Structure 1
Amino acid sequence: MNKNLAKFLWGSCVRMTLLLLAVSTVSFILITSSPIDPIDAYIGSLSVTEEQYQNIAAFWGLDKPPLERFGLWLYNLAHGDLGLSLVYRQPVLQIIMERFQTSLALMGMSWCLSGALGFTFGVLSGANRGTIFDKVIKTLSLLFASTPVFWLGLLLLVIFAVELQWFPLGLAVPMGMQAEEATWLDKARHLFLPALTLSIGGIANIALHTRQKMIDVISSDYMLFAKARGESKSVAVRRHGLRNILIPAVTLQFAYFNELFGGSILAEKVFSYPGLGETVAVAGLKGDMPLLLGIALFSSLFVFSGNLIANILYGIIDPQIREGSRCE
């Protein structure tokens, strides 16, 4: 393994460990400060005696001081145990893995749509600045970038599911059907509207960012020199423009990992999509601390992985960055 790469990966592991520790601490403080009593949420409408209440608290370790509970949770985490969910009564890691499989299809499709369409629209808009196409793309991008995911999901649901009836109202598979029985076409029809809802904001942001970078590149001296040598605008954009705007686009695309997690919670609630986002909402309303902490760690690791992949791709896309790291 390259020495610089090994050093970079080691530093990334240290930063990731510190990040997860900080996220765990802040998340634990926020959860324990919540007005929701996890025992009351666990009991629900049942009537229990004081002794039964205390026994339930002791069973879940909620009778211990907060600092002791956090220390015990960190100890179990170091041994690969994220604890047991109060709501689902299953290991937290098992719940996250099961729900993430469904959310991964949603976030993966949204991520690909936002990157491919956002980059394409941004390049075409920037290369044709001032045209009707450019004005339409810029206006729509500004509009959708400022539109809340929740409201946009409701709007698409009313138009395409209720009025036009082109797509189902929600869920990941047809109602009354097991996931194993559903065909890929059934799953795709249920996935399309949530994925479109989640990707529109990313498409708009990436298109606006790429458009501005393309305008800057076209106005640069080396593009003017390329035109002076007789190269057409389309050839100059392909040869010189795309490479120079690719790194900023990659940065923005992998930074979108953060918005994917936050947006998926709202999109899954609107479309009743049974993924990790819906699990977060249920765990928050029920005060399920082990599950909330586990999802917080998982989401942080997910976002950190996106940034790490982006940093590695920099050296592949631009050899100057690779050479610069070697010189250091």
Structure 2
Amino acid sequence: MWKTIIRRLLLMIPQILILSILIFIIADFMPGDPFTGLIDPNLDPAQLEAMRESYGLNDPLPVKYIRWMTNAFQGDFGRSFNYQQPVTAVIAGRLGNTVRLSLLSVILTYAVGLPLGIVAGRYNESVLDKTILVYNFVSFAVPIFVLALLMVWIFGYNLNWFPARGSVSISATTPWEIWKSQMYHVLLPAITTAMLGTTSIIQYLRSEIIDAKVSDYVKTARSKGVPIQKVYTRHIFRNASLPIASGFGYTIVSLFTGSIFIEQIFTYRGMGYLFLQSINTRDYSVIFVLVLFYGFLALIGTLLSDLILMAVDPRIRID
């Protein structure tokens, strides 16, 4: 297994390299630059052009790419034009918020999705099953930005149960107060994300359990007198959870990338919020590193899904 993991990690190097080239080409075709719209309109065009020249924005694409790669291998991923800080420092300041949101969203997603999927599959065609299906269809049909706006309006402004914006209260000063404030602010975005994330889990698990209930191995276990509860826990659920396990890595990646819209609507200052801000301000240094990071996460998610699937079902081996 370790040889496979090392080989897959080594294969990520040329994939990330190709992705970086594609990003540089796309960024070069984007209109404007980091100074567009951010400089005094009365500024002398010659002075503005000199600023672009000093930052190397007028250099040919191969020159800019080789310069960036050379600096990246030395640990320098560039400097943010908007924040006037190293890109790594800017992203590190937002990474904790996104990780906190993603982890809590994963926990809530599986804590809600797994029980509902099991109940719907075990008692299919019952009133409880139909109720769960209605919830599933509604959560599948509602766009993420619509649900987020509704959650902000209902629970943030009308009921005032949760903060409607931000990631921490400015009144929090001590480490304990800061942590409590951060957890309080992340609850509503995480619940919103989890409500949409349970859709596929419930649907897959319900379908697999319904199919497994009429399988030969289940009939054999029941004929031998195995209790129904043990049949579900040791036989049906183990086999029915394979599609869920195979998609676990992708779920984590989708929560990181999907949090872009959630963070924007809730004004939650994570990497997704930073990504959209950087696009608006044409902060190419930050955009480039974030896209590479999301691409790396996608590759890690694929590997993680394969490893989890192999752990759940030892008969499966990855090459």
Q: Do the structures match in fold with TM over 0.5? A: yes
User: 2:169, 2:178 within 8 Å by CA — same for their partners in 1?
Assistant: no
Q: What is residue 25 of structure 1 aligned with on the other side?
A: 21
SS in 2 for 1:171: coil
CA contact (8 A) 1:119 1:206 kept: yes
Tell me, which stretches of 5 or more residues in structure 1 are unaligned?
none
Is 2:14 aligned against 1:13? Answer: no
User: After alignment, is 280-289 or 62-71 more displaced?
Assistant: 62-71
Which of 93, 97, 117 is the aligned partner of 2:92?
97
Residue type at the aligned position of 1:48:
L
**Aligned mates of 2:87, 2:37 — CA distance in 1:** 18
CA deviations on 1:221-269 (whole Å, 9 max, x unpaired) are: 1112222222343221111012112332122222112321232111111
Matches within 5 A, 1:300-311: 300-311=295-306
Give the whole-Å Cα distance in 2 for the aligned partners of 1:239 and 1:24: 46
Instruction: Tell me what 2:120 maps to.
Output: 125
Aligned-residue CA RMSD (Å): 2.0
Residues in 2 aligned to 1:62 and 1:122: alpha-carbon distance in whole angstroms: 53
Q: Kindly report which structure 2 residues correspond to 1:193-212, keeping only aligned pairs within 5 A, or say none.
A: 193-212=188-207
Deviation at 1:13, TM superposition (A): 1.6
Give the whole-Å Cα distance in 2 for the aligned partners of 1:126 and 1:53.
65
8 Å contact from structure 1 (residues 206, 252) kept in 2: no
1:38 equivalenced with 2:69 (yes/no)? no
Partner of 1:64: 59
Matches within 5 A, 1:1-328: 5-43=1-39, 45-177=40-172, 180=175, 182-321=177-316
Contact 1:194 1:268 in 2 (8 A): yes
**Amino acid aligned to 1:9:** I
1:246 and 1:11 mapped to 2: Cα distance? Answer: 27
Q: Is the contact made by 1:73 and 1:83 (CA closer than 8 Å) also made in structure 2?
A: yes
Residue 178 of structure 1 and its aligned partner are, at CA, apart by 5.1
Deviations 1:267-297 (A, max 9, x none): 1111111111110011101111111110011
Give 1:212 shift. Answer: 1.2
Partner secondary structure for residue 128 of structure 2: helix
Cα distance, 1:41 vs. partner?
A: 4.0
User: What is the rounded CA distance, in whole Å, between the counterparts of 1:143 and 1:16 in structure 2?
Assistant: 38
Q: Deviations over 1:94-122 (max 9, x none)?
A: 21122111111011100111122212211
Please give the per-residue CA displacement for 1:139-186, whole angstroms capped at 9, x wherever unaligned.
211221232111111101111111111112211122454584734333
Task: State the identity as a percent.
Answer: 27
Q: Structure 2: any 5+ residue segments left out of the alignment?
A: none
Once the 2 structures are TM-superposed, how far is the Cα of residue 21 of structure 1 from its aligned partner?
A: 1.7
User: 1:72-110 deviations in whole A, cap 9, x for unaligned?
Assistant: 222222332211111111111121122111111011100
Alpha-carbon distance, 1:305 to partner = 2.2
Alignment TM-score, normalising by the size of structure 1: 0.90
